Structure 1
Amino acid sequence: MRVLKRAAAAGLVAAALIAGGCAAPSGEGGAGDDTFVVGLSSEYDTLSPVLGFAPDGGSLIYDGLMSRAPDLSLRPALAESAPRVSADGKTVTFRLRQGVRFHDGTPLTSADVKYTYDTLLDEAVASPIRGDFAAIDEVRAPDARTVEFRLRHAYAPFPQRTTLGIVKKDGLKQNIGTGPYRFESWTPGDKIMLSGNADYWGGAPAIDRVVLAFAPDDNVRATRLRAGELDAAVLPPKAAAGFRGERGVTVYDVPSADYRGIMYPLDQPVTGDRAIREAVGLAVDRRAMVDTILAGAGEPAYGPISPRTPWYEPSVERAHDPAAAGRLLDQAGWTLGDDGIRVKDGRRAAFTLMYPAGDSLRKELALAVASDAKKIGIAVEPAGLDWDAIEPRMPKDALIMGYGSPYDPDYVNYEMFHSAFKGQGFFNPGRYDNPKVDELLERGRGSVDEATRKAAYTELQKIVHRDEVWTYLVYLTHVYVIRGAYDGITPGVEAHEHATGGLFRDLHTWKPAG
């Protein structure tokens, strides 16, 4: 999960988004010059890997010890080869690639790797991703090219966690990495400018300059793309539809593990009633959402683990059954009132469903949920708000949220469902607390036996489904619109966050076609 403003729900953290205007980023044009302009829906909180920027790879500024191929397999980056893992799974050793230098010319050594992880784990730094690396007991640098991680316990996904970008020792605030692009400047609310690293160990990028332009509103990004002010953007399927078949434009449909669903505050009178949540889960027409709102670019969602991964448990799927939803509410004591809305103990079956105002797709999902819920006697009031208004209301109001990772079921789910994270911002915002789920999450991350892990995450999915912690709606197909033709674009299954990850994570390997 990359740290974008509100990225945990947009997809992950705090601060207001500043909408991009309808002009090109100041000082830059779109396609046609030597600069490639990418339109992003969210602005970063930080560019520091230690503070949560691009821990799963995808940064153009930093490299990790390992990186991911489009098929999600791990490949060496700053490491010269895959790590050696001890028989007990508690010692993981990397050998660094020779000749790698930071953007300021300083050679990369194991001391930089140790500094990066030690700083991340320092409680005083208060990194929002510190919990993802809690298995690390100690990082050693026995010589300039060897890094040794000593773990508190075996942690099967650990090599996957080493996609975290490495920062220069004592250079935490300098935005200096070893990646294919150098940081040039950041204009808050407008853009970040990057320049190609001609000395990059993986080869100099063919695209020499990159601008990351911030435009939270979907329609604004589409307008700027059509005007030629942007060279590429991720758009909702409906907004992208008008670009299909346009000369000089390519639309890429990329599968993802990125879901949208209803996050419920579980300690509120209405949304805290499992019968209400389960009835909504039965009433929503997921297939209609995919066919209409997503224009076919996605698939129904029933849980937090994607059907595109081997960890998926198909028994969590359920039919669209409004009649069953009505019977369930009857049995739970929610009786229809004169206005068609159910009542129990003098309380109406009504709740607010928030969504970020600039996100047209989430707005349409919220409206569809409200329509389907009304048919079974539940009043859902959609509310489009900015993130500054949404965050303080999450303990009381439901929210159309997004998350999802195809990498390992430990990713995202540990923070989303473990009681230790209750109410910590966008981690477990519904305050779910189930000791059995805590146990399964601990078992899943603590075992190196694949069958044990598979069984733990299968049971986890069943319990989360039974408790209707969320109502999962759809998995998205990420739709990229790119002006011009480029060789080297290789789609793969994507996580929730895309921005400069996803299709753009290998931007440095793209070359103009022809």
Structure 2
Amino acid sequence: MRRRSVISRRVAAAAISVVLVSGAAACAGPQDAEPRGDSGDQGKPRKGGTLTVLNAAPQTDFDPARLYTSGGGNVPSLVFRTLTTRDREDGAAGTKVVPDLATDTGRPNADATEWTFTLKEGVKYEDGTPITSADIKYGVERSFAAELSGGAPYLRDWLIGGSTYEGPFTRKGKKGLDSIVTPDDRTIVFKLRKPEGEFPYLATQTQFTPVPRAKDTGTRYEERPVSSGPYRVVRNESDGERLLLERNPHWSAKTDPERKAYPDTIDVRSGLDAAVINQRLATGTGADAAAVTTDTNLGPAELARVGDDKELASRVGTGRFGYINYLAFNPKVKPFDNAKVRQAISYAINRTSVINAAGGSALAEPATTFLPEKKAFGHRPYDHFPAGATGDPAKARQLLKEAGREKLTITLTHSTEQNRQTSPEVATAVQEALKKAGITVKLQGLESNAFNEARWDAKKTPGFFLSRWGADWPSGAPFLAPIFDGRQIVKDGSNYNHAQLNDPAVNKEIDEINKLTDLDAAARRWGALDERIGRLALDVPLFHPVYKRLYGKDVKNIVISDWTGVLDISQVAVK
């Protein structure tokens, strides 16, 4: 059972983490990916120059054991290569998993309980020493150490012996995990306790970064990690507020067709105010002309200004990450144990007013399904409680009458943080919509940390609250399983199954889909399962966020995929 999840990393902090706020901007598709030298053709991306990254959140914990690959834009993937990676293509094409350090995306045994990878020949660290399978094994094992916690939780659940392993820094853990086998320097085998057809997706996580044991400095490794990617860390100041990257001389494009690595230097500067970031990008003087942001969105007022300026508008793009904002019910709390009450609320919601509260249609798109509207997730369109764009209060009143709850007073818990996701404005929009159906809603606003602690505590989960969820990779598995798999209900830790649904048929279907290594077939079944669970009215999908970003006037080759929703720094070139 997973004790932590992407949300504990992205959301349980005092502010929304980089994934929510770091859907990157991209308006054009990728340009010619090959540098042309001094040909006089200014439309082609070329090598050279410095790319500046202006961010609000510092790139903290710059250790592959402690990061998510989607965290911090793609800055970590410039330094850390993994067994597999995402296809660095624009849009839906970028949801595919492709080889990185490995020669392929992994070879499963008959029931997907064992995965074998072979490393490419000639892959090296920044000092020229070869990367070996033993380094991958050690990199995975150190991610189990308590002092390096923070990364993706899946390996603890998936690997045989993972649930009790303590990492290589303890006397008991020095022997390593028997479920990771390295028969030679280029081969590594992972033995799982259950079928996992999506292991190639997991192998994109930074925990699969090679780490040379002799160079490991434990908790200080983040200060000067050993690079396996196109850039190496030459400066890390104030725990990631200033991160300076320069070329790794031993990186070879022949072994890494995904990362283009055009700039000579990448200068990441964080801890900046969002308004200052957008102003600097808009003005674009000096180094800011060749700058991007991976965690700062444009707000409604800024978008209005951009709309009146054609030059600025040409430098704004749209990114979408697989994310859902929704109303959550806890059926263990009355009156939400009554399905007709939950259905009535579903009919009463005015999504137009909710979207306006979230920043308007440019920043939010209405949702009636839990899964995002992307093929990779297996999205299947449905609307079990069709209320139109502005709600159906008459239908809601009818259902409340049938439930014997014509006069109903309930409490909606939300965050007091101004994040346009679970904010007071969105809560107020819900309150006003339900009032038209005869439902009195009292608002309970909690500070961000208290809000997250409340909604993820199985013993204290509110009956009705605003929530959100994002997937670690573009599939229905990390989207539906943590929320609806009854075996993942956590009584004494972070619990994400807000409804505490424990349906044997749902659990069985999750297991059956997890056996599939045909990811397209798996996606179709995730979509069917989403539609099936949706009939239970355990949540009310509200909207999917949309990200609008500015980038500098000298930045070229803007690429953003539906995998991360983040501008891909590995593709960017500067004048």
Distance 1:278 1:167, change over 3 A: farther
Distance in 2 of aligned mates of 1:10 and 1:324: 39
The corresponding residue for 2:170 is none
Distance 1:214 1:435, change over 3 A: farther
Distance in 1 of aligned mates of 2:269 and 2:347: 41
**2:390 is aligned with 1:323:** no
**Deviation of residue 168 (structure 1)?**
0.7
Counterparts of 1:75-86 in structure 2, within 5 Å, are: 75-86=98-109
**2:101 is aligned with 1:37:** no
**2:353 is aligned with 1:335:** no
Distance in 1 of aligned mates of 2:266 and 2:140: 30
> Unaligned regions of 5+ residues in structure 2, if any?
19-48, 161-178, 254-259
Equivalent residues of 2:324, 2:541 under 8 A apart: yes
2:426 to 346, 362, 365: 365
> Unaligned regions of 5+ residues in structure 1, if any?
20-32, 337-341, 343-348
Equivalent residues of 2:278, 2:298 under 8 A apart: no
| Letter in structure 2 aligned against 1:243 | V
Counterparts of 1:80-479 in structure 2, within 5 Å, are: 80-103=103-126, 106-120=129-143, 129-131=152-154, 134-137=157-160, 138-165=179-206, 166-170=209-213, 171=216, 173=219, 174-175=221-222, 176=225, 177-183=227-233, 184-187=235-238, 191-199=241-249, 200-202=251-253, 204-206=261-263, 208-214=265-271, 222=278, 231-232=292-293, 233-235=295-297, 238-241=300-303, 242-244=305-307, 245=309, 247=311, 250-290=315-355, 293-309=359-375, 311-320=378-387, 321-336=392-407, 342=408, 349-355=409-415, 357-363=417-423, 364-394=425-455, 395-397=460-462, 398-405=464-471, 407-423=474-490, 424-425=493-494, 427-448=496-517, 453=522, 456-479=525-548
Query: Which is further off, 88-97 or 445-454?
Result: 445-454
Distance 1:223 1:7, change over 3 A: farther
Distance in 2 of aligned mates of 1:426 and 1:47: 27
**Deviation of residue 428 (structure 1)?**
2.3
Distance 1:299 1:450, change over 3 A: same
> Residues 312-357 of structure 1, C-alpha deviation per residue, up to 9 Å, x if partnerless?
2223454212211111111111123xxxxx2xxxxxx211331251
The corresponding residue for 1:492 is 561
Distance in 2 of aligned mates of 1:451 and 1:309: 9
Equivalent residues of 2:384, 2:535 under 8 A apart: no
TM-score scaled by structure 2? 0.72
TM-score scaled by structure 1? 0.79
Distance 1:15 1:476, change over 3 A: closer
Equivalent residues of 1:251, 1:482 under 8 A apart: yes
**Deviation of residue 206 (structure 1)?**
0.4
> Higher relative contact order at CA 8 Å, sep ≥6: structure 1 or structure 2?
2
Distance 1:207 1:253, change over 3 A: farther
The corresponding residue for 1:62 is 80
Distance in 2 of aligned mates of 1:132 and 1:432: 24
Distance in 1 of aligned mates of 2:266 and 2:149: 33
**Deviation of residue 277 (structure 1)?**
2.7
| Letter in structure 2 aligned against 1:308 | K
| Letter in structure 2 aligned against 1:484 | K
Equivalent residues of 2:343, 2:537 under 8 A apart: yes
Equivalent residues of 1:39, 1:214 under 8 A apart: yes
Query: Which is further off, 327-336 or 363-372?
Result: 363-372
**2:58 is aligned with 1:8:** no
Distance in 2 of aligned mates of 1:303 and 1:132: 29
Distance in 2 of aligned mates of 1:63 and 1:109: 13
**2:91 is aligned with 1:50:** no
CA RMSD across the alignment: 3.6
Distance 1:55 1:250, change over 3 A: closer
Secondary structure in structure 1 of the residue aligned to 2:65: helix
Aligned length: 475
Normalized per residue, the structure richer in strand is 1
Secondary structure in structure 2 of the residue aligned to 1:360: coil
Distance in 2 of aligned mates of 1:444 and 1:494: 20
> Residues 117-143 of structure 1, C-alpha deviation per residue, up to 9 Å, x if partnerless?
334467997666333563434222111
**Deviation of residue 106 (structure 1)?**
4.5
